[in-house]
Chains A and B, each alone.
Chain A
Amino acid sequence: MSEDRERDNSIGIIWTSTMKIVDGRGPSNETDVIWASTAKALGAGKFRIADPKTVKVEVMRRVRIRNQVIFAEGDAEQEIFNLATAVKRKGRREPPKIAEVCLAAFLNGAKGDALLGDLSERFEQDCERFGTGRARRLYWSRTIRSLWPLMRRGAARAIKWGIVVDSVRRFFTGG
């Protein structure tokens, strides 16, 4: 095998979780979809099925996408890295975590879970309509609008239970 051919063979993407080389025979799962969009953008001609051992030895850069590690090597390294980063950014369709934590602090249990689920559902709709960036801003806006009523509700509960606990304490201590 010539040096060029070896080098050509080493251009590819490998997922360490499965040690499987995706050869572009059509997407069959989420991982393949990510690969397919990367490969489509690069042009399928640049990719060949590589020997897993070779690719593993020749790893130069890795990119983490949705908990999958992508190894890219060879001439296409920088290109794959850029595209993989773009795919990662495009694919990050998750509501802001900090906003979720803020909401969960004021309403827990089944209602808290349902509230976060409703906002996630709305977020998905917004992603389809406006794109991820605007959807994340809208999520924050909805969170901020929701905080005040939830805080008031939490305070009302706390005061009510405070009064109950205080009454029980007075009853037993004779205060």
Chain B
Amino acid sequence: MELTTLEQHAMLAIIALHPNAYGISIQDHIGRNAGYEPSVGSIYAALDRLEEKGFVRSKQGEATRERGGRRKLYFSLTAPGRKALTGSINATHSLSRAAGWREALV
């Protein structure tokens, strides 16, 4: 099943941040490593899609004062999610190898 770029980035962030992957930390991780900062809304929309597909699961965490007493929602990848991510990254790699994009861009 195909993944959008943001879905792929969010899933990679979840793996990197495990077990502390929640909205803000995912947003910061993408901002630091991918060079753009998606809105929190787009991250949650992507995570909602991924959860519906069964690629991620969420677990409620602690509520703190600075969060206005609202609970965090921690995300982790499921086995089908890992498989889909691997497939998506492999597809990108083989397409880029086939295109010889480095040579083409020079």
Chain A residues packing against B (C-beta within 8 Å): 94-95, 103, 106-107, 110-111, 113-122, 124, 142, 145-150, 152-153
Contact = CB atoms under 8 A, between A and B. Distances in A.
A5 B42 CA distance: 64
Contacts, number: 83
Contact of B42 (A111, A121, A149): A149
B contact face: mostly helix, strand, loop, or mixed? helix
Interface in B10-67: 22-24, 27, 39-42, 44-45, 47-49, 58, 60, 63-64, 66-67
A114 B41 contact: no
Given A122-B24, A146-B40, A149-B41, A113 B71 contact: yes
B82 interface: no
A95 B45 contact: no
Given A110-B73, A118-B22, A147 B66 contact: no
B71 A117 contact: yes
A147 B71 contact: no
A115 B22 contact: no
